[in-house]
């Protein structure tokens, strides 16, 4: 039914690897997986590619469990990692219990807490790359959200090199559209098992998502143009 | 009916003058006027402000007549400039006759031709600043159009300093929204007289305009954020 979707995703990852020099021989890569379709797709692809399409690198996975989530993808993740022979770590982060009095939980707070713990874990365990499953739609949404709500042009980079740590964050799915990842996950047979955080979805992001669909008229080239524009800046 | 609109526009011009250092004592300023509400508003404001709110500068106006337009704002412009004691120049540009065979006239071609002639005229006549009537909506539309259709972050600058010529382009209305300029033009009594090019309006611009309204939910702060983002770039 989706004969070429694996090839298509793989080609786009190859292009990202090449354009942004994401991975090198001997890298120690930690992939953050959530049980959702995006990071599951990335995990499968990286596991398949390393030493073949990609250089040889160490690959391990981590699942960060927050204290408030009801979803429980551990069994799904354990099985998937076992099938791919990828070591899997679990890390508990008390996102909710760290909240100060009268503060309400939100996606920004949670992701900051989890990001901090993820970086600590990577540094303590000798990883030099963290791979995240963000795709083209995530990146374009973040760009537009930051422009509209923060008045700044900023966003997720395909490769973010930290100056403070011997660590980079890479996003190999940066050229893949969400709709392609859905097809991949269907084809690979894990879409129905994958699950993500069901805490209130960020309403700004939701709104911006539909605005982008309208702005780009559902045209992939226009969406890619938005992504491309971040690296093509001509302001006096 | 619109008691504060003149103050509001004037305050926003003052802020632009200050933020971007648009005008200095002794400048020789050529304002390009079209007969439309935007450049008419700018003309009235500059004529009123110079030597009072603004430093003292020479101010003259120019109307560039294209060979295909049917609108004829010359009388309106002559009268307005006479009332404000601003010298007015007319310049004919054969936009259509310069088209190569089989090429169709479009807004981009026309504006490039007119811009070239405008710069020549300014340089030949010793002007060091060209003032244009673009407002906030124009600038935000151009930014989004360039992102969606060209894949680049670029746009109109409040002050564009040419390296090749002793000349800058300034846009003192950059903080003013179009709806404010409409109120100003109504209040000043020239909205019904003002007219602009009635050649097919750029359809991309038209579409982007309604997309921006939706993207910003008609909220001025969000629209200003889009404008602000052009000077607030954080890309690794």
Q: What is the ipTM score, two decimals?
A: 0.87
Contact (CB<8Å) B157/A232: no
Residue B40, Cα to own-chain centre: how many angstroms? Answer: 10
Contact (CB<8Å) B215/A216: no
Residue A215 lies in a domain: yes
Residue A236 lies in a domain: no
Distance from CA of A52 to the nearest CA of B (A): 30
Q: What pLDDT band is residue B1 in, cutting at 50, 70 and 90?
A: low
Q: Using the predicted structure, report yes or no on whether residue B69 has a pLDDT greater than 80.
A: no
**Could you tell me if B15 and B176 are in contact, meaning their C-beta atoms sit under 8 angstroms apart?**
no
- Measured between beta carbons, the chain A residues lying within 8 angstroms of B208 are 215
- Measured between beta carbons, the chain B residues lying within 8 angstroms of A220 are none
DSSP A28: E
The tokens 């680049």 sit on which residue?
B152
Chain B CB within 8 Å of residue A163 CB: no
Q: Using the predicted structure, report yes or no on whether residue B232 has a pLDDT greater than 70.
A: yes
**Could you tell me if B149 and A217 are in contact, meaning their C-beta atoms sit under 8 angstroms apart?**
no
In this structure, what CATH number is given to the domain that contains residue A146? 3.40.50.620
Instruction: Give the pLDDT score at A3.
Output: 64
Contact (CB<8Å) B155/A231: no
- Measured between beta carbons, the chain A residues lying within 8 angstroms of B153 are 153, 229-230, 232-235
Q: In a 3-state reduction of DSSP, which class is residue A99?
A: coil
Q: How many structural domains are present in chain A? A: 1
Chain A CB within 8 Å of residue B235 CB: yes
Residue A114 lies in a domain: yes
Residue A234 lies in a domain: no
Residue A90 lies in a domain: yes
Distance from CA of B67 to the nearest CA of A (A): 33
Instruction: Give the pLDDT score at A110.
Output: 83
Distance CA A226, CA A156 (A): 13
- Measured between beta carbons, the chain B residues lying within 8 angstroms of A164 are none
**Could you tell me if A176 and A17 are in contact, meaning their C-beta atoms sit under 8 angstroms apart?**
no
- Measured between beta carbons, the chain B residues lying within 8 angstroms of A146 are 229
Taking 70 as the pLDDT cut, the residues of chain A under it are 1-3, 200-201, 236
Domain that holds residue A110: 5-229
Contact (CB<8Å) B155/A216: no
Over residues B128-148, the pLDDT tens digits come to 999 999 999 999 999 999 999
- Measured between beta carbons, the chain B residues lying within 8 angstroms of A161 are 236
Contact (CB<8Å) B225/A150: yes
Residue A97 lies in a domain: yes
- High-pLDDT (> 90) share of chain B, %: 75
What is the secondary structure of B4-67 as a DSSP string?
A: THHHHHHHHHHHHHHHHT---TT-EEEEE--SSHHHHHHHHHHHHHBTTTBPP-EEEEEEEEES
Residue A157 lies in a domain: yes
A215 to chain B: closest CA residue? B211
The residues near A8 (Cβ < 8 Å, ≥ 6 apart) are: A180
Distance from CA of A144 to the nearest CA of B (A): 9
Instruction: Give the pLDDT score at B7.
Output: 95
**Cα–Cα separations (whole angstroms), residue A40 to A36, A189, A190, A228, B3:** 6, 11, 8, 25, 60
The tokens 């020099």 sit on which residue?
A21
Q: In a 3-state reduction of DSSP, which class is residue A68?
A: coil
Q: Please identify among residues 7-66 of chain B the ones whose CB lies closer than 8 Å to any CB of chain A.
A: none
The residues near A55 (Cβ < 8 Å, ≥ 6 apart) are: A23, A24, A25, A26, A27
Over residues B111-128, the pLDDT tens digits come to 888 899 999 999 999 999
In total, the C-beta contacts within 8 angstroms joining chain A to chain B are 95
Distance CA A133, CA A143 (A): 17
Chain B CB within 8 Å of residue A210 CB: no
Q: In a 3-state reduction of DSSP, which class is residue B170?
A: strand
Residue B236 lies in a domain: no
């Amino acid at each position: 039914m989706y004969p070429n979707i694996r090839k298509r995703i793989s080609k786009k990852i190859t292009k990202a690897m090449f354009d942004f020099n994401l991975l090198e021989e001997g890298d120690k890569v930690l992939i953050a997986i959530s049980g959702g379709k995006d990071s599951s797709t990335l995990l499968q692809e990286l596991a398949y590619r390393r030493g073949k399409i990609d250089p040889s690198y160490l690959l391990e996975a981590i699942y960060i469990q927050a204290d408030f989530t009801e979803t429980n993808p551990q069994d799904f993740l354990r099985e998937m990692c076992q099938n791919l022979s990828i070591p899997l770590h679990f890390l508990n982060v008390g996102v909710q219990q760290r909240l100060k009095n009268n503060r309400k939980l939100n996606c920004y707070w949670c992701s900051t807490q989890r990001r901090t713990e993820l970086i600590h874990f990577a540094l303590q365990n000798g990883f030099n790359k963290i791979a995240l499953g963000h795709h083209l739609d995530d990146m374009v949404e973040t760009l537009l959200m930051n422009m509209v709500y923060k008045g700044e042009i900023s966003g997720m980079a395909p490769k973010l090199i930290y100056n403070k740590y011997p660590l980079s964050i890479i996003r190999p799915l940066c050229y893949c559209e969400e709709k392609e990842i859905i097809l991949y996950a269907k084809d690979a047979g894990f879409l129905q098992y994958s699950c993500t955080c069901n805490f209130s979805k960020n309403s700004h992001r939701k709104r911006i998502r539909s605005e982008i669909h309208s702005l780009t008229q559902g045209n992939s080239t226009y969406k890619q143009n938005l992504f491309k524009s971040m690296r093509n800046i001509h302001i006096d």
